C-alpha cells in the first residue's frame, strides 16, 4: 500500500506574513488528518518561519529548487545542504516552470537529483509533456526521455526516497485538468517504465503524484485511480479551504 502524498507548491507567492497566515489556516483544517502525507513547499524566504510553525505537526517541508553543488561561487543559488538547516525533507526538482523559464534540461536535472539524494533529501521529480507534444502523440516518448535521462545512474535503492510527479504542462495553472483516464494511462505507463529499469518491486513502491489544476472538485476521482498516489498542487494550495479539501479527498 502506498501512502497518499499531497504537496503544495506555493511558487513565488506569499510574503512572510502571508505565509504565516496560510500555514496557520492549513494546520487548523488538517490537524486530524493522519492517513495522508502533507508537504508544504514555500519559497526560500519563508522556509525558516514555516519550518518553525509545522514542527511536531506531522506536516513536512519541501523547497522548490536548489543547486547541484554543495557550495561555491554560484551567486543567487541555494545549496541542497543549506536546505537541511531548515528541516527540509523534500525538494521539487525539474518543475516545468524551471525547465521552461530557466532552461533546465534533463542533464542538469539529473545532477540536481543526484545531489539532493546524496544529501538525504527526497526529490519530487517533475516530468510532463507540452500540449504540442501530446497532440503529436509524443507523450510517452517525451516522458520516457525525461525519466530515463533524469534518473540515469540513480539506483532508487529506497523507492520511498523519491516521488515522481506527472505534471502535463498544458494542465499547470490553466484550469484544465487531465481527465482521470488520461492521468491513469500515463501513471501506469510510468510505473511500467520504472519497473523495466528498477524492477517491479521498486516500481510498485514509488509514489507517483499527478499535478495540473488539481482542485477539491477533481481530486477524489484522480485518487481513485490505481496508479495515482497523490497530487502536487499549485494554485489551490494557496487557499487553506481548497488545499484542506484536497487533503481530505476521502471526504
Ligand atoms: C504546479 O505548480 O506544480 C501545479 C500543478 O500548479 P497548478 O495546480 O496551479 O496547476
Q: What is the DSSP string of the chain?
A: -PPPEEEEE-TT---HHHHHHHHHHHHHHHTT--SSEEEEE--GGGHHHHHHHHTTSS-EEEES---SSSSSS-TT---HHHHHHTT--EEEES-HHHHHHH---HHHHHHHHHHHHHTT-EEEEEE---HHHHHTT-HHHHHHHHHHHHTTT---SSGGG-EEEE--GGGTTTSPPPPHHHHHHHHHHHHHHHHHHH-HHHHHHSEEEEESS--HHHHHHHHTSTT--EEEESGGGGSHHHHHHHHTTT-
Mean pLDDT, the chain, integer: 97
pLDDT attached to residue 82:
98
The ligand 1 atom at the shortest distance from the C-alpha of residue 233 is 8
Which residue owns the Cα nearest ligand 1 atom 4?
A: 234
Mean pLDDT, rounded, for 210-216? 97
* Alpha-carbon span 11 to 101, nearest angstrom: 13
Which residue owns the Cα nearest ligand 1 atom 8?
A: 234
Q: What are phi and psi of 38, to 5 degrees?
A: -115, 130
pLDDT attached to residue 105:
98
How far is the centre of ligand 1, averaged over its atoms, from the C-alpha of 211 (Å)? Answer: 6
CATH of the domain at 170: 3.20.20.70
Mean pLDDT, rounded, for 94-102? 98
How far is the centre of ligand 1, averaged over its atoms, from the C-alpha of 178 (Å)? Answer: 12
pLDDT attached to residue 112:
98
pLDDT attached to residue 1:
84
The ligand 1 atom at the shortest distance from the C-alpha of residue 171 is 10
Report whether pLDDT(251) > 90: no
Report whether pLDDT(182) > 90: yes
Q: Please give the model's pTM, rounded to 2 decimal places.
A: 0.98
Residue 192 binned pLDDT confidence (cut-offs 50, 70, 90): very high
pLDDT attached to residue 190:
98
How far is the centre of ligand 1, averaged over its atoms, from the C-alpha of 155 (Å)? Answer: 28
Mean pLDDT, rounded, for 81-102? 97
Q: Domain range holding 50?
A: 5-247
Q: What angle do CA 125, 231, 109 make, to 5 degrees?
A: 10
Report whether pLDDT(217) > 90: yes
Total number of domains in the chain: 1
Query: Tens digits of per-residue pLDDT, 34-79?
Result: 999 999 999 999 999 999 999 999 999 999 999 999 999 999 999 9
As annotated, the active-site residues are 95, 167
Amino acid at each position: 500500500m502506498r501512502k497518499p502524498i499531497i504537496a503544495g507548491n506555493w511558487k513565488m507567492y506569499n510574503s512572510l506574513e502571508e505565509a504565516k497566515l496560510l500555514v496557520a489556516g492549513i494546520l487548523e483544517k488538517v490537524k486530524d488528518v493522519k492517513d495522508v502525507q502533507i508537504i508544504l513547499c514555500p519559497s526560500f524566504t519563508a522556509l525558516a518561519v514555516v519550518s518553525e510553525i509545522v514542527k511536531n505537526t506531522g506536516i513536512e517541508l519541501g523547497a522548490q529548487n536548489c543547486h547541484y553543488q554543495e557550495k561555491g561561487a554560484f551567486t543567487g543559488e541555494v545549496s541542497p545542504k543549506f536546505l537541511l538547516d531548515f528541516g527540509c525533507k523534500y525538494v521539487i526538482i525539474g518543475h516545468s516552470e524551471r525547465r521552461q523559464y530557466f532552461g533546465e534540461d534533463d542533464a542538469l536535472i539529473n545532477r540536481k537529483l543526484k545531489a539532493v539524494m546524496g544529501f538525504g533529501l527526497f526529490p519530487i521529480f517533475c516530468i510532463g509533456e507540452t500540449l504540442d507534444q501530446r497532440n503529436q502523440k509524443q507523450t510517452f516518448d517525451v516522458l520516457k526521455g525525461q525519466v530515463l535521462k533524469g534518473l540515469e545512474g540513480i539506483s532508487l535503492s529506497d523507492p520511498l526516497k523519491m516521488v515522481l510527479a506527472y505534471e502535463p504542462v498544458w494542465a499547470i495553472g490553466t484550469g484544465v485538468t487531465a481527465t482521470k483516464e488520461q492521468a491513469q494511462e500515463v501513471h501506469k505507463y510510468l510505473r511500467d517504465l520504472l519497473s523495466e529499469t528498477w524492477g517491479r518491486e521498486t516500481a510498485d513502491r514509488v509514489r507517483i503524484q499527478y499535478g495540473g489544476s488539481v482542485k477539491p472538485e477533481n481530486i477524489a476521482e484522480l485518487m481513485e485511480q490505481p496508479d495515482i498516489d497523490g497530487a502536487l498542487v499549485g494554485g489551490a494550495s494557496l487557499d487553506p479551504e481548497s488545499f484542506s479539501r484536497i487533503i481530505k479527498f476521502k471526504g
